[in-house]
Amino acid sequence: MTCQHCGGETLAFPVPEAARDHLPDDRPGGELCTTCLRVTPTDDPPSEYPDFQTISDAFPRDSEAGAVLACLLAVVDSVALYRSELSALARDAESRGVDVMLFLDRLDADEALQPYFDVDRRNRQLEQLLYE
């Protein structure tokens, strides 16, 4: 599929069980844009986690942790609306050994990407959420 917003290619992924409760959409999968990092819910995801490192090496090698981060990217620009969801997804990723702040920093530094959200700003808000 291609992204409706920027025309970039998307990567389909199944939503991990642990993340399902923390997403505003209850569909079983998402399509992550490989350019702007927007996520569109999908009814028909693949059964296996894809290799998120094809998007950026900011993603962890563990593709299930990558899928949790993809879910986080779906709500990261709606901090006010999805505060508890965002915090739960970030904690889930951290419990898998991911440094979420570092992940966002590395996405921001990746010149192949054009994130749809202000990474720096969201990073600071997320830091407050996690460590307040």
| Interacting residues toward Zn ion by CB under 5 A | 3, 5-6, 8, 33, 35-36
CB of 84 to Zn ion, least distance (A): 26
CB of 51 to Zn ion, least distance (A): 19
Q: Please, which residues bridge with residue 39 across strands?
A: 32
Single-letter code of the amino acid located at 50 = P
CB of 73 to Zn ion, least distance (A): 11
CB of 1 to Zn ion, least distance (A): 10
CB nearer to Zn ion: pick between 6 and 101: 6
CB nearer to Zn ion: pick between 73 and 88: 73
N-to-C CA span, the chain:
39
- For 20-86, give the DSSP string: HTT-SS--SEEEEETTT--EEEESS--SSPP-GGGT-TTS-S-HHHHHHHHHHHHHTT-TTTSHHHH
Q: For residue 88, give Cα distances in angstroms to 30, 78, 80, 92, 120.
A: 18, 14, 14, 6, 20
CB nearer to Zn ion: pick between 55 and 88: 55
CB nearer to Zn ion: pick between 33 and 67: 33
